[in-house]
Structure 1
Amino acid sequence: MAFSHDSDCQKEKALGFWSTVQGDICRLREEDGSLWTLTRGLLSQGFIALFGYRVFRWFFEQGIPTQPFRFVVERLIEITTGISIPAQACIGKGMRIHHFGGIMIHPDAVIGEDCTMYQGVTIGDRWGRGGVPSIGNRVYMGAGAKLIGPIEIGDDCQIGANAVVLASVPPGCVAVGVPAVVKIRKTITQLDAV
C-alpha cells in the first residue's frame, strides 16, 4: 500500500522534527555503524539537502512563514547539492539520498519511510497536468529513475536505474525499462533454486 498523503503526512507531523531527523541519521549508520561512516554521511550532499528540507518542512507544518528566506536557502541547496526538495513535499523518516545531484521532487509528492534514492531521480507530474506519485515505504529508486504522474508505488518496490515509470507498481515488485515494465521480484530462495 502506498504512502497516503492525508494520514501519513499527519503521522510525520506527529513524529516531530528531531524524531524524523533521527530516523534519517539511523539510515546513515546502516553500512557499518562507525563514526567515520556517520561523519561522511552527515557531510554528504544528500543529507545536507534533506536536513534543509526537514527544517523548512517543520516551519511549513507549524504555519510559520519563511519566505523569501526559504526561497534563497532552497536555491542555494539546489546549486550546491543538485537536489531540489520543496518544503511542501511529504517525506517520511529514514530517507537516504546517495550521491550528488540531479534529484527533483515535485512539491505535491508523497514519499514513505526508509526510502532510498540515487542521483538523477525525478518525481513529478505529467508536464504540468495531473497528479504526482505517491510512493510507499522502503522503496529503492535507482540512478536516473523517473516517476511521473498520478501513480502509486507500493511498499518494498525497486525502481531500476533509468526506468520511466508511468503506471502504478504493486507492492514488492520491480519496475525496469522505458517505459517501465513491472516484474515480480524474486526472493532469495527463488534465486537459490535457479
Structure 2
Amino acid sequence: MFENIKADIARLGDGKASWRALARGLLSQGFQAILVYRFFHWLHTLNIPAQPVRFLVERTIEITTGISIPAKCDIGKGLRIHHFGGVILHPTTRLGDNCTLYHHVTIGDRGGHGGAASIGNNVMIGAGAKIIGEITIGDGCKIGANAVVNCDMPPDSTATSPPIILKRRQE
C-alpha cells in the first residue's frame, strides 16, 4: 500500500515523492479519493472487514469529490486523477501502473452484466471518455476526450471521439 501511495505522490510532482507533492496531493480531490481507495483496498486484500466504516467513508468521498473507486478495483501504482469529479469505476476495473484519468471518466460494464475493462500501463484517458464492457486496453494507449470505447485496443493506439460536423442551413 505504501509503495503505491509513494508512486501516486510522485506523479503529482516532478517524478519523485516530496513534501511539496504530498501537500499538493492532499489538496487535490483526486488524490484524496485515491488515498481512501488504497487504504480500503489494502484492508480488502488482507480480508479485514471494514464495513460499515468503509461504506460511510467511500460515500463521503463520492459526495465531496465526485469520484467513486470501489475497494475491489485492482489499480497499479502511480494513478493520477486530474481535475474535479465525475470519475466512476466499476468494481471489476483493472488499471495498470502510471495511468492518468481526467474528469468525467466512466469505466463500466455493459448495462448491468459482464465485467469492466482491463487497462494496461501508462494509459491516458481523456475527459468524458467512456470505456464500456469487459475489454482490454493495451499499454501506452491514449483515449481522447468524449471517446466511447467498447472493443479491445492494441498497445500504443489512440481512440478519439467521432468528429462533429456542422452544416450550414440552406436558405
TM-score by structure 2 length?
0.90
Deviations 1:73-119 (CA, angstroms, capped at 9, x unpaired): 00000000000000000000000000000000000110000000000
* Deviation at residue 32 of structure 1 after TM alignment: 9.8
Query: Does residue 1:60 correspond to 2:44, yes or no?
Result: yes
- The secondary structure found in structure 2 opposite 1:104 is strand
Indicate the residue corresponding to 1:83 in structure 2: 67
Which of residues 72, 76, 99 is equivalent to 2:56?
72
Which of residues 113, 118, 124 is equivalent to 1:134?
118
Q: Which moved more, 1:26-35 or 1:85-94?
A: 26-35
Query: Does residue 1:121 correspond to 2:96, yes or no?
Result: no
Which of residues 84, 102, 105 is equivalent to 1:100?
84
Cα–Cα, structure 1 residues 164 and 66, in superposed 2: closer, same or farther, change >3 Å?
same
Segments of 5+ residues of structure 1 without an aligned counterpart are 1-16, 180-194
Indicate the residue corresponding to 1:189 in structure 2: none
Deviations 1:128-157 (CA, angstroms, capped at 9, x unpaired): 112210000000000000000011000000
Indicate the residue corresponding to 1:166 in structure 2: 150
Segments of 5+ residues of structure 2 without an aligned counterpart are 164-171
Indicate the residue corresponding to 1:144 in structure 2: 128
Query: For residues 178 and 64 of structure 1, what CA distance do their matches in structure 2 show?
Result: 45
* Deviation at residue 177 of structure 1 after TM alignment: 1.5
Whether the aligned pair in 2 keeps the contact of 1:164 and 1:178 (CA below 8 Å) is no
Identity over aligned pairs, percent: 57
Cα–Cα, structure 1 residues 25 and 32, in superposed 2: closer, same or farther, change >3 Å?
closer
Q: How does 1:8-87 map to 2 (within 5 A)?
A: 17-30=1-14, 36=20, 38-87=22-71
Tell me which stretches of 4 or more aligned residues in structure 1 moved more than 6 Å. Answer: 31-34
Whether the aligned pair in 1 keeps the contact of 2:79 and 2:100 (CA below 8 Å) is yes
Q: Which structure's residues are more often helix, by fraction?
A: 1
Query: For residues 127 and 139 of structure 1, what CA distance do their matches in structure 2 show?
Result: 24
Query: For residues 128 and 15 of structure 2, what CA distance do their matches in structure 1 show?
Result: 23
Query: For residues 18 and 34 of structure 1, what CA distance do their matches in structure 2 show?
Result: 14
TM-score by structure 1 length?
0.80
* Deviation at residue 178 of structure 1 after TM alignment: 4.7
Query: For residues 109 and 102 of structure 2, what CA distance do their matches in structure 1 show?
Result: 19
Query: For residues 175 and 64 of structure 1, what CA distance do their matches in structure 2 show?
Result: 39
**Alignment root-mean-square deviation, CA:** 1.8
Query: For residues 104 and 39 of structure 1, what CA distance do their matches in structure 2 show?
Result: 25
